[in-house]
DNA sequence: ATGGCTTCATAGTGAAGA
């Protein structure tokens, strides 16, 4: 099966891109982040027309996550049970026997911001949530916008980014804590081109100059990692008119 | 150049993203 994740930065604006991408890339599950729309406005029919089920956890203006899947999603859970959160950042379901967790990690804004503290707390909550989820389900994949570049090679200019949000040591420690739960960064299981990124700033011609970061990830439990056959970033959607600033990443798991 | 661009909410600009 193929599983993918894409921060679409407004599903209203990007619906056409997502539909066309799914037609060209008929993955078994696609996790979306930053829907920026309330559940009542979710375009369920548009996905139904192309053979996809949709589950979603949205809110007006900000955040919002969804999972699109060919198979019917089972045991749908929204939010983290043990972490009270006004913001809609997590949804999970079992698809083809795999527990798929779709997360939109807090950005954090800057290290001296209250939002950074919220990010740290949220990541601590996610760690507990994932620990429990792995214990309960076994085969688990955590897909989404982590808002963390795990290593310097995931940053176009590590010197320029040093000490900034998205690359700070405490954030990277949170990423490694997820790995320590028994999760593997599926993208790094394979030889990859240098300067592989999933996000580029809209400003300064960031994409054309490849001034990006790798902050969207697909982590899988060991049992799944043994069956992973590929993991790739698809930069094509970033080349379209009015693109999202993020682009999809796809991991394939042998059945 | 603490800017640059895009989205949303709003009807001027401001917040937020990363």
Please check whether strand B approaches the CB of A15 to within 7 Å: no
Q: Which nucleotide is nearest to A164 (CA to C1')?
A: B18
A9-18 residue pLDDT tens: 999 999 999 9
SS3 A126: helix
CA-closest candidate to residue A246, choices A84, A16, A43, A33 = A33
Q: Which nucleotides of B are covered by protein (CB under 7 A)?
A: 4-9, 16-18
DSSP class per residue in A59-117: -SSS--EEEEESSPPEEEEES-TTS--SS--EEEEEETTEEEEEEE----SSTTSHHHH
Question: Residue A68 in contact with residue A45, Cβ under 8 Å?
Answer: no
Catalytic residues of A: 104, 145
Q: What is chain A's mean pLDDT, rounded? A: 97
Please report, rounded to whole angstroms, the spatial distance between the CA atom of protein residue A152 and the C1' atom of nucleotide B12. 41
Please report, rounded to whole angstroms, the spatial distance between the CA atom of protein residue A164 and the C1' atom of nucleotide B2. 13
Q: Which nucleotide is nearest to A12 (CA to C1')?
A: B7
A159-213 residue pLDDT tens: 999 999 999 999 999 999 999 999 999 999 999 999 999 999 999 999 999 999 9
Cα–Cα distance for residue pair A84/A95, rounded to 1 Å: 26
Please check whether strand B approaches the CB of A247 to within 7 Å: no
Question: Residue A161 in contact with residue A211, Cβ under 8 Å?
Answer: no
Question: How many residues make up chain A in this entry?
Answer: 255
């Amino acid at each position: 099966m193929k599983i993918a994740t894409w921060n679409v930065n407004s599903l209203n604006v990007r619906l056409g891109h997502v539909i066309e991408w799914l037609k060209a890339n008929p993955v078994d599950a696609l996790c979306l982040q930053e829907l920026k729309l309330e559940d009542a406005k979710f375009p369920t029919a548009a996905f139904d027309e192309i053979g996809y089920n949709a589950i979603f956890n949205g809110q007006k203006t900000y955040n919002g996550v969804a999972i699109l899947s060919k198979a019917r999603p089972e045991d749908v859970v929204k939010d983290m049970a043990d972490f009270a959160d006004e913001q809609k950042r997590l949804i999970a379901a079992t698809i083809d026997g795999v527990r798929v967790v779709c997360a939109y990690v807090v950005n954090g804004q800057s290290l001296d911001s209250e939002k950074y503290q919220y990010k740290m707390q949220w990541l601590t909550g996610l760690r507990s949530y994932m620990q429990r989820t792995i214990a309960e389900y076994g085969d688990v994949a955590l897909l989404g916008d982590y808002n963390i570049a795990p290593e310097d090679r995931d940053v176009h200019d590590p010197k320029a980014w040093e000490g900034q949000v998205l690359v700070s040591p405490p954030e990277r420690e949170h990423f490694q804590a997820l790995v320590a739960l028994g999760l593997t960064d599926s993208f790094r299981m394979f030889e990859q081109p240098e300067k592989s990124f999933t996000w580029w700033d809209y400003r300064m011609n960031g994409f054309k100059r490849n001034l990006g970061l790798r902050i969207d990830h697909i982590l899988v439990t060991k049992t799944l990692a043994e069956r992973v056959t590929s993991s790739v970033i698809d930069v094509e959607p970033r080349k379209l008119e009015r693109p999202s600033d993020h682009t999809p990443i796809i991991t394939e798991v042998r059945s």
